[in-house]
Amino acid sequence: MDRVLNLNRVGYGAMQLTGPGVYGPPPDREAAKRVLRRAVELGVDHIDTSDYYGPHVVNELIREALHPYDGLTIVTKVGYRRTADQDWVPARTADDLRQAVHDNLRNLKVDRLDVVNLRVDGSHVPLEEPLTALAGLREEGLIRDLGISNTTRLEEALAITPVVCVQNHYNIAHRDDEPTLEAAAARGVAYVPFFPLGGFTPLQDQALDEVAAAHDATPRQVALAWLLHRSPTVLLIPGTSSERHLEENLASAELRLSEQDLTRLDTIG
Ligand SMILES: NC(=O)c1ccc[n+]([C@@H]2O[C@H](COP(=O)([O-])OP(=O)(O)OC[C@H]3O[C@@H](n4cnc5c(N)ncnc54)[C@H](OP(=O)(O)O)[C@@H]3O)[C@@H](O)[C@H]2O)c1
């Protein structure tokens, strides 16, 4: 299938490489680094992260495993910070965002971030001020491209500044965000569904099992392939801490679903 943003359509989401609750170090740092290296060996050219995963832990693992990132695009997120008691706190003032960008630059050990997503969360949250602050950091050369996350406000964002991707909760069983997915396709913006496999609530459905059996595939591969078929600008970032699951997820790019499969899968969600 075609590439999106000049990237392979199946990348890797690194959020699972922390301790429980997306906080602290993973149980086995070397195993986490092996997953990252294996992802790149298998052709992943796009990794999704944030400095608030851990916090800092995931970016440090990515740096230790993969620096200097030859040919790899690393997409990070800003707009929140973690507290010592593991809470998630909005951090979207111009100072917060500058700090977050510098934390990402330092922990990933780069001079410029490839893509920075502003995590928005909610229609009441001001968009213009934080996005303009990030556009200023892009102007300074600290960021190549911007994206947005956890928001349906793509048109509003595009009226403020160019954005190349939008990252929202979407999967075969959770389709509320279809209007944003359609808008992204119409605008040539990458749509990056998070929780593509259901996140902390793994996807399960008889239709997935049936289509998987017919293709000698797994239900997870069918769920990922369905997303790739759903829109031409979808880019995937399934997360896993397992090399075996990683291999399985990457192979979903080769799975071709028929019209009959898609009709059967449409009964989900
Ligand atoms: N913008 C946001 O607010 C936001 C929010 C959440 C996530 N994200 C991003 O989106 C990425 C993807 O989301 P996610 O990792 O939370 O959820 P996900 O990709 O839907 O699912 C990950 C879960 O599925 C399991 N899994 C993965 N592949 C599997 C396979 N082949 N067979 C069986 N189980 C499998 C993983 O466990 P194992 O480790 O055992 O494989 C993990 O528990 C994250 O890594 C993160 O980068 C962004």
What are the angstrom distances between the C-alpha of 136 and each of 80, 139, 250?
A: 19, 5, 36
pLDDT digits (tens, 9 = 90+) for 147-185: 999 999 999 999 999 999 999 999 999 999 999 999 999
- Answer yes or no: are the C-beta atoms of 120 and 148 closer than 8 Å: yes
Q: What is the pLDDT of residues 221-266, one digit of tens each?
A: 999 999 999 999 999 999 999 999 999 999 999 999 999 999 999 9
Instruction: Please name the residue whose Cα sits nearest to atom 26 of ligand 1.
Output: 240
At 119-158, the pLDDT tens digits run 999 889 999 999 999 999 999 999 999 999 999 999 999 9
Q: What tens digit of pLDDT does each residue of 46-73 get? A: 999 999 999 999 999 999 999 999 999 9
Cα 83 to Cα 80, 88, 89, 251: the distances in Å are: 10, 7, 7, 37
- Of 116, 122, 84, 112, which is closest to residue 97 (Cα–Cα)? 116
Nearest CA to ligand 1 atom 38: 240
CB 86 within 8 A of CB 23: yes
Distance from C-alpha of 179 to C-alpha of 200, rounded to nearest angstrom: 24
pLDDT of residue 269: 78
Annotated active-site residue in 12, 23, 52, 53: 53
Q: Mean of the per-residue pLDDT values for the chain?
A: 97
pLDDT of the residue at 1: 54
Report which protein residue has its CA nearest ligand 1's atom 6. 194
Examine the pLDDT at 104 and tell me if it is beyond 80: yes
Ligand 1 contacts CB of residue 150 (under 6 A): yes
Nearest to 165 by CA among 37, 75, 269, 43: 75
- Averaged pLDDT for residues 205-218: 98
15 lines ligand 1 (CB under 6 A): yes
53 is annotated as an active-site residue: yes
**12-265 classified as CATH 3.20.20.100:** yes
